[in-house]
C-alpha cells in the first residue's frame, strides 16, 4: 500500500533523498522534521505496518467496541500528500547496502537514499517460557494484535496479563471493563518500581485492586500448559491460574535485524552520537532502536524528540540532541499518574522530600529535593499541577518557593 508516491525507483537518481525505516513516532517525526528543514528533498517512509502512524499508547482503546480506528491515526492520509512524504506500507526493509547507498525491500526492490534513518522501533519480548507458543498467547503492539485479542476475549472468562508496565496495565484495565476477570503478574516486588516509590506503588496497586483486578507481585511464570491451547499458567511460587488467554507485556526487543552485515556500532541497540548519527556515514538512528550515551529510554516523547533531531540533521540542520529525564504519564485504572524528574530512591543527607497522602481517595503526592532544590515528583490521583511542577523542576525552584506556590496538596 502506498499513501503517496512521488518517488523514482531508479538507482541513477541524482537526488536520492531521505529514506526512513519505520513509521512509529520516531520515523514520522523524522519525516516531518526533514520536510520542514528542506521543502524539496524527497522523503520516503518504509514500514512493515499495514496502517499509517498511530498512537500506540491508545491501542487499548480499540478493545472498547465503540472506538473508531481512525481516531488512533496521528495524521489523516491527506497530510502525507500535502507534505510530499512518500509512505510505503506493508513493506519490509530486509537489508542495507551502505556502500552503494540503497535499501532492499522484501528481498527484491532496491530503493536508493542519500541519507538513511533507521527508526524501525521494537516488538514485544516473550520470555522463553514453556508453552509460550500455544494458541491463546498474545502480545499487544499493533492494531492487528488488538483485533486478534478482541476475537478471543469473546470466549474468555479469565485473562492473565504478564507484566505490569504501561501497555500491560492499560490492557488489563480495558479487558476488565469488558467484564473479563483479570490477573496481572509482575516479576518485581511492586508495580511501576522505576516510576514510583514504595508508598506510591502501594497506593496505585490498591486503586488497581479496587476495580476487581487481581495483582500478583514478586512472582514469575514458570510454564504455560494446555493441549490445543492455553489452559493453565504455572507460577514460580507453586500456584497456578486457570485461563485460556495470556497476554505478554514484559518488555520489548529492538528491531535491529536490518543492520546485520553492516559494520555498525551496537550496544544492544544502535549507537548514535548527539546528532543521531551512527558510525556509518549518512546513516542515522532514532527511537527504540537507538542508544545514546549508553542510555535507552523506551518512551514515546524521547522517540519523538530523537526522530525530530535525526530528520532535521539528515536534511542538513546540524542540531544537537540534549537528553532530559523524560516525564512518565499514565492515565488508566480510573486514575492518573505522573512521575517527573529525578525520583530519589535512597535518601541521604542532602536529600529531602515533602508528601501528601489520602489513601481513601487513592491520592499521593511527593516532591523530592536535592540541596533544597526541587528535583522530581510523584503524583497519583491528582496530577493537575504536573505542568507547573515540571516547569519548577527545570527552573530549579527551592523548597521554600515550592511551598509558597502551593505545588503540593495539604
Residues 317-370: tens digit of each pLDDT: 999 999 887 788 999 999 999 999 998 877 777 899 999 999 999 999 999 999
Mean pLDDT of 294-301: 89
**pLDDT given at position 11:** 43
User: What per-residue confidence (pLDDT) applies to 4?
Assistant: 52
Q: Do domains 18-122+253-314 and 137-248 have the same CATH topology?
A: yes
Domain definitions of the chain by residue range: 18-122+253-314, 137-248, 334-404
Q: For strand 363-370 and strand 373-380, is the pairing parallel, antiparallel, or unpaired?
A: antiparallel
Q: Which residue has the higher pLDDT, 114 or 13?
A: 114
Whether residue 364 contacts residue 356, with contact meaning beta carbons closer than 8 Å, is answered with yes
| Contact by Cβ (8 Å): 38, 322 | no
pLDDT score recorded for residue 9: 46
CATH superfamily of the domain spanning 334-404: FAD/NAD-linked reductase, C-terminal dimerisation domain (3.30.390.30)
For position 348, what pLDDT does the model report?
Answer: 77
Three-state SS at 312: helix
What is the average pLDDT value for the chain, to the nearest integer? 93
C-alpha cell at 248: 505478554
CATH architecture entry for 18-122+253-314: 3-Layer(bba) Sandwich (3.50)
The reported pLDDT for the residue numbered 410 is 63
Q: What is the pLDDT of residue 12?
A: 45
Whether 25 has a pLDDT exceeding 50, the answer reads yes
Per-residue model confidence as pLDDT tens digits over 139-189: 999 999 999 999 999 999 999 999 988 889 999 999 999 999 999 999 999
Q: Which fold has domain 137-248?
A: FAD/NAD(P)-binding domain (3.50.50)
| pLDDT given at position 7 | 52
CA–CA separation, 152 and 180 (whole Å): 11
Mean pLDDT confidence for 193-211: 96
Q: What is the mean pLDDT of the segment spanning 258-267?
A: 96
Give me the long-range contacts of 381-386 (CB less than 8 A, separation at least 24).
381/203, 381/207, 381/335, 381/336, 382/336, 382/409, 383/329, 383/336, 383/337, 383/338, 386/327, 386/329, 386/338, 386/340
pLDDT value of residue 346: 74
Mean pLDDT calculated for residue range 400-408: 94
Amino acid at each position: 500500500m502506498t499513501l503517496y508516491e512521488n518517488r523514482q525507483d531508479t538507482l541513477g537518481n541524482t537526488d536520492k533523498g531521505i529514506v526512513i525505516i519505520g513509521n512509529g513516532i520516531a520515523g514520522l517525526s523524522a519525516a516531518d522534521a526533514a520536510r520542514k528543514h528542506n521543502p524539496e528533498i524527497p522523503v520516503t517512509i518504509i514500514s512493515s505496518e499495514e496502517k499509517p502512524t498511530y498512537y500506540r499508547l491508545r491501542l487499548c482503546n480499540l478493545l472498547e467496541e465503540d472506538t473508531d480506528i481512525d481516531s488512533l491515526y496521528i495524521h489523516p492520509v491527506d497530510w502525507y500528500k500535502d507534505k510530499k512524504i512518500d509512505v510505503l506500507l506493508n513493506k519490509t526493509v530486509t537489508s542495507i547496502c551502505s556502500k552503494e547507498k540503497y535499501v532492499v525491500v522484501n528481498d527484491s526492490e532496491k530503493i536508493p537514499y542519500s541519507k538513511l534513518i533507521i527508526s524501525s522501533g521494537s516488538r514485544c519480548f516473550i520470555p522463553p517460557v514453556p508453552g509460550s507458543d500455544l494458541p491463546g498467547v498474545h502480545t499487544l503492539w499493533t492494531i492487528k494484535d488488538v483485533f486478534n485479542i478482541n476475537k478471543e476475549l469473546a470466549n474468555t472468562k479469565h485473562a492473565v496479563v504478564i507484566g505490569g508496565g504501561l501497555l500491560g496495565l492499560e490492557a488489563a484495565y480495558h479487558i476488565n471493563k469488558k467484564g473479563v476477570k483479570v490477573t496481572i503478574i509482575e516479576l518485581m516486588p511492586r508495580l511501576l518500581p522505576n516510576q514510583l516509590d514504595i508508598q506510591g506503588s502501594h497506593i496505585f496497586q490498591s486503586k488497581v485492586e479496587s476495580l476487581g483486578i487481581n495483582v500478583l507481585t514478586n512472582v514469575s511464570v514458570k510454564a504455560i500448559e494446555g493441549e490445543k491451547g492455553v489452559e493453565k499458567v504455572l507460577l514460580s511460587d507453586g500456584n497456578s491460574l486457570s485461563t485460556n488467554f495470556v497476554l505478554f507485556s514484559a518488555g520489548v526487543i529492538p528491531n535491529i535485524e536490518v543492520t546485520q552485515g553492516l559494520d555498525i556500532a551496537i550496544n544492544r541497540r544502535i549507537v548514535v552520537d548527539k546528532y543521531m548519527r551512527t558510525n556509518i556515514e549518512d546513516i542515522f538512528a532514532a527511537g527504540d532502536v537507538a542508544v545514546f550515551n549508553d542510555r535507552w529510554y523506551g518512551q514515546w516523547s524521547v522517540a519523538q524528540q530523537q526522530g525530530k533531531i535525526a530528520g532535521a540533521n539528515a536534511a542538513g540542520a546540524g542540531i544537537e540532541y540534549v537528553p532530559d529525564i523524560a516525564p512518565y504519564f499514565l492515565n488508566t485504572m480510573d486514575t492518573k499518574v505522573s512521575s517527573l524528574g529525578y525520583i530519589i530512591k535512597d535518601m541521604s543527607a542532602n536529600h529531602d522530600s515533602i508528601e501528601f497522602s489520602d489513601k481513601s481517595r487513592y491520592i499521593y503526592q511527593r516532591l523530592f529535593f536535592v540541596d533544597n532544590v526541587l528535583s522530581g515528583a510523584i503524583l497519583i490521583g491528582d496530577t493537575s499541577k504536573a505542568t507547573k511542577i515540571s516547569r519548577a523542576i527545570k527552573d530549579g525552584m527551592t523548597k521554600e518557593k515550592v511551598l509558597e506556590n502551593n505545588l503540593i496538596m495539604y
